[in-house]
Each structure stands twice: as structure tokens, then as C-alpha cells.
Amino acid sequence: MPRPLIAITDIAAMQSNLSVAKAAMPGARVWAVVKADGYGHGLAWAMEGFAEADGLSLVELDRAIRLRELGWTKPLLMTEGMFSVADIADMQAHALQPVIHTQEQIAMLASAPAGSALDVHLKINTGMNRLGFEPARVREVHAALKALPVVRSIALMTHFANAENTSATLSAAVQTERFRACTEGLQGAVSLSNSAALLLQGQIRCDWVRPGIMLYGASPGVGTAASFGLHPAMTLKAELISVQELHPGDSVGYGSAFTADKTMRIGTVCCGYADGYPRHAPTGTPVLVDGVRTRTLGRVSMDMLCVDLDPVPSARVGSSVILWGEGLAIDEVAAAADTISYELMCAITPRVRREVRREARREVHRPLAAN
Ligand SMILES: *Cc1c(COP(=O)(O)O)cnc(C)c1O
């Protein structure tokens, strides 16, 4: 029997989360972001879950070509654009839409061999300072792109640094105003909002939105996913493979990082950092055993972690364990481990078995718990 550790991708949750994104800005078109194999959920399953999106957005050329092979015929946005002139032929052959964010990419387009024309996206750096042209150059760059025979259309985009934090100095409002000022009068569809802007900055309007994390059922950074009506698209599930009894003074695992002060039962779960569970999750990180909320104990090791069975007296070897997903928000685990849901989703390693669930959502019992 394979090790009982499995990551389940829930197609119905993805479909439902996409409808939340669509409802958040009626009339806007949606690029569903599927980089990193759909935030770790599996590329083909992400394509299936987001079949009703207007386009998919990613950064990996091989994955974009794979999406075409899988039958995706709608637009594909490549948010880092091309990395070499050779990529242009692939983009032409597969009708991929590159973001253009450097002078070097404009030069690549200028030297591209003849082929079908591309729809490109002019990326403007409104303060993120990661990719894009400075606002003062936008008109010149727009004109240069427009003059290239290989360019069919030019869309306009920027990316927010702090959409979840309205009091940030570099707020989404500040970036939006910079964007507006430097693009005034230019033709082209406008694409601005990530999940946080879409859910939290209702005043920002644009032609296309680019939600990622919310589609996978995690919080955009403020508020719980459930409070936005989002459902977890990934459940990481394991079993207890051992039960031990501790007596006062006994410790658990490497470094003896947890010591019992009373007699207690603990369980050992077949999931560790080599599976993608965060090693930095401290004692107290939430976990469900047989649907009951309890906590991790001691250090996470490569293949295992230990949990407190005090709240679950009936637990035994074979009991089901949910590390995150249905009934336990991934955001809670991420917060305990001092990281973000994105990183946990993307970190699941290949040795974890994968399964897909397609049934419509049934209401699950959510244990009463702290937020
Ligand atoms: C990853 C990414 C997104 C999606 O962001 P979320 O926070 O996951 O919604 C949107 N736009 C760009 C350019 C990105 O790189």
C-alpha cells in the first residue's frame, strides 16, 4: 500500500471560487492565474476548474504549450514575457500573449522573424519595482511597440504591491493613479487587479483582472477565505501511523522541542517537510485528527510530524489527519509557520500522491475554532 498521504484537488471548489471572482467585478474579464502548475494544484486540473475563465495566465512557456495540447483555445498571458528571441516563434505558433517589460524584449520583437502577429501587454512599473517600464517612458514604449509589424494589439498593465493594505504608503490607490496618469489617452485593454485588489479594493475598475490565490480558496491577505465565500481547492490528507503515550518529562522528536508535563497520548502523522509541510511550523500549529482540531507537537521531521491526541481520545493508528484544506484553512497553517498559503500550496513535493475530486460541494462540518 502506498504511503497514506494525498493532496486532493477539488474542481468544484475552483469553479465556485472563479464565480466569486467574476461577481467581484461584473463585466471584467478574468485571467485565471495558473503559474507554478496552478499554484501546486496540477496544471490540467486548474485548466478544468477554470474552464469558464476568459484566459489563463502563467510564466512557463512549456506549460503554456502543454495547455494548448490539452485543448485550451482561449487566450494565454505570459506575465514574464519571453526570455529569448527563440521564444517568439513558440508564442506565435501557440498564440501566447507576452508581457513586454524591458527594452531587451522590444529588441527581440524587432528582430523576430516574420510570423503571426502577437497581442502584447505593456507592463508599467508603478512602484512595485520588480518588472516594467517607468511611467515617464510609457508613451515612447507604446509608440515603439505600435510600430512593430509583429505587434497586433497592446494592452496595458501594472501590478499592485500592497492591495491588501489600504494604509500602505504605496497603496493600490497610489499605484492606480500613477497608472492612470501615464496611460491617459492610450488605447488598450487595462489589466490591474490581483486577488487582493479584486476582493478588497472595489473602487478599482479595469477591463481584465488577474486573480490567483483566491481561486484556490485562500485568503487574499486580509480576512478569512470563508468570509469571502471561497472554498479550499486543496486538501492535504494523511493518517496516523503510530500512537505513543508520553509521561511527564518525556519529550517528542528531534531536539526534544516539546516536553510533556502530564501523561498524554500523541500521534505520528506520515507527513513531513520532504512532502512540503513547513518545517518551521512550531508546536501548536493546527491540524485535524478524525475531524477534531488539535495541534502539532515538537519539530516537523522529514517524513513525519507529531500531534496531540488529548482532544481526540478515540484516535488510533489509521485515523484520518487533515493538514490543511477541508475544515482547516491553509491560511491558519501558513500563519502558524510564518509563511503564506501560496508557498504551502506550491511546496507539495512529487512523492505526495494526487487525486482529484469533481463532485459538487457538500457542506462540511467546520470545527468551532479560533480564527
Ligand atoms: C501571481 C500574479 C497574480 C496573481 O496574484 P494573487 O495574489 O495570487 O491573486 C496576478 N498578476 C501577476 C502579474 C502575478 O504575477
Ordered DSSP codes for 258-321: EE-SS-EEEEEES--GGGT--TTPPTT-EEEETTEEEEEES---SS-EEEE-TT-TT--TT-EE
Catalytic residue among 22, 74, 123, 254: 254
Q: Which of 20, 57, 97, 230 to mutate to test the pocket of ligand 1 (most atoms within 8 A of CB)?
A: 57
If one compares 30 and 370, the residue with the highest pLDDT of the two is 30
CB neighbourhood size of 303 (10 A): 18
Cell 503559474 sits at which residue?
Answer: 35
**Ligand 1 pocket member 211 (CB < 6 A):** yes
- By C-alpha distance, which of 218, 194, 195 is closest to 333? 218
Is 22 noted as a catalytic residue in this protein? no
Residue 16 in this model has a pLDDT that exceeds 90: yes
Is 254 noted as a catalytic residue in this protein? yes
Kindly state the average pLDDT of the residues 337-359.
Answer: 97
Span 32-83, pLDDT tens digits: 999 999 999 999 999 999 999 999 999 999 999 999 999 999 999 999 999 9
The rounded percent of the chain whose pLDDT value lies above 70 is 97
Ligand 1 atom at minimal distance to the Cα of residue 342: 8
Kindly state the average pLDDT of the residues 222-247.
Answer: 98
